[in-house]
Amino acid sequence: GAVVSQHPSRVICKSGTSVKIECRSLDFQATTMFWYRQFPKQSLMLMATSNEGSKATYEQGVEKDKFLINHASLTLSTLTVTSAHPEDSSFYICSARDGGGMETQYFGPGTRLLVL
């Protein structure tokens, strides 16, 4: 089946630093990738939709200058949390859409970010 990886799985950083999270589709080409944020015991909130070769589309209320998304290839999207603060601590999950099976998103294992 379709596999999506994320790296790192867990990161701890100091307030004010930037953190990059990678999302890769391992066995398929992902024309679209999605970035979600999940707070403890809550559902997933879509942050942005990332299309290969074009600018990401951000959901209302998500700061595009704080959460930089780059989708440079059909198998890689990155999310950079710039100048991270403790309130950015969360579980970040990416998903990828297989252009062939377009109705289905495959999710990565998530990245736990802790900002001290």
Partner 1 sequence: AQSVTQLDSQVPVFEEAPVELRCNYSSSVSVYLFWYVQYPNQGLQLLLKYLSGSTLVESINGFEAEFNKSQTSFHLRKPSVHISDTAEYFCAVSPKGDSSYKLIFGSGTRLLVRP
Decide: residue 103, CB within 10 A, 0-12 exposed, 13-18 middle, 19+ buried.
exposed
Residue 40 tokens, joined: 């403890």
The smaller minimum CB distance to partner 1, of residues 11 and 82, is found at: 11
User: Smallest distance from the beta carbon of 88 to partner 1, in angstroms?
Assistant: 18
Binding positions for partner 1, rule: CB under 8 A: 4, 6, 32, 34, 42-44, 46, 49, 57, 93, 95, 97, 102-110, 112
The smaller minimum CB distance to partner 1, of residues 3 and 72, is found at: 3
User: Smallest distance from the beta carbon of 83 to partner 1, in angstroms?
Assistant: 26
User: Using alpha carbons only, how large is the chain's radius of gyration in Å?
Assistant: 13
